[in-house]
Amino acid sequence: MKILKKVLFIGMAILLIIQIPFFTPEKNQIKTDGLRIDITDKYEVPMNIQMDLYNGCYDCHSNYTENYPWYYHIQPVSWWMNLHILDAKKHINFSEFAAYTSEEAAEKFDDLRKVMEDRSMPLKSYLWMHDKARLTERQYQRVARWAKAMHDSLSVANGHK
């Protein structure tokens, strides 16, 4: 019984120590200093598509997460969320989309089409706490059609069919 109490005490002490703000990762709110390379800076993005992307994708797939929930400040949740955002930005980053080569952009548009068609994004776990990110069937179809058209246009420009 004494060992169990020691283990519980040590575990509680560790949980309390990691709550110190020193251990919280930096928020995903990168300042661009006037240099913009957002997807809208290079590609024609209709306003309704831009709003769908902004509401459903930008918190994880851009350099600026606007909506940090209250539980972000509880460790180890913030570490998990930070890793999730960093991983999401590796797949597609709308804040840096204009810096992709046309071949990379074509591939990203195709990836976007696929996740819209199979409705794998936004993640179900994200939607539990973010109703604003919930896309309708019409929105999924609209973004998928636009992404396919952008992919096809870039593929033709790149000399691919």
Report pLDDT digits (tens) over 126-156.
888 788 889 999 999 999 999 999 999 998 8
Q: What is the pTM of this model?
A: 0.80
d(CA 143, CA 132): 16
Q: Would you state the structure tokens that stand for residue 80, as one six-digit string?
A: 């998990």
Band of pLDDT at residue 47, cut at 50, 70 and 90: very high
Contact 93, 65 (CB under 8 A): no
Band of pLDDT at residue 23, cut at 50, 70 and 90: low
CB atoms under 10 Å from CB of 41, counted, come to 13
CA 28 to chain centre: 10
What digits encode the pLDDT tens for the residues 95-126?
Answer: 999 999 999 999 999 999 999 999 999 988 88
Provide the 3-class DSSP secondary structure of residue 71: helix
CB atoms under 10 Å from CB of 99, counted, come to 13
Average pLDDT of every residue of the chain: 85
User: Would you state the pLDDT for residue 113?
Assistant: 97
What digits encode the pLDDT tens for the residues 62-84?
Answer: 998 887 778 777 778 888 888 88
Strand partners, 29: 64
d(CA 108, CA 112): 6
Mean pLDDT (whole number) for 48-65: 92
CB atoms under 10 Å from CB of 131, counted, come to 8
Question: What are the residue boundaries of the structural domains of the chain, listed by start?
Answer: 2-157
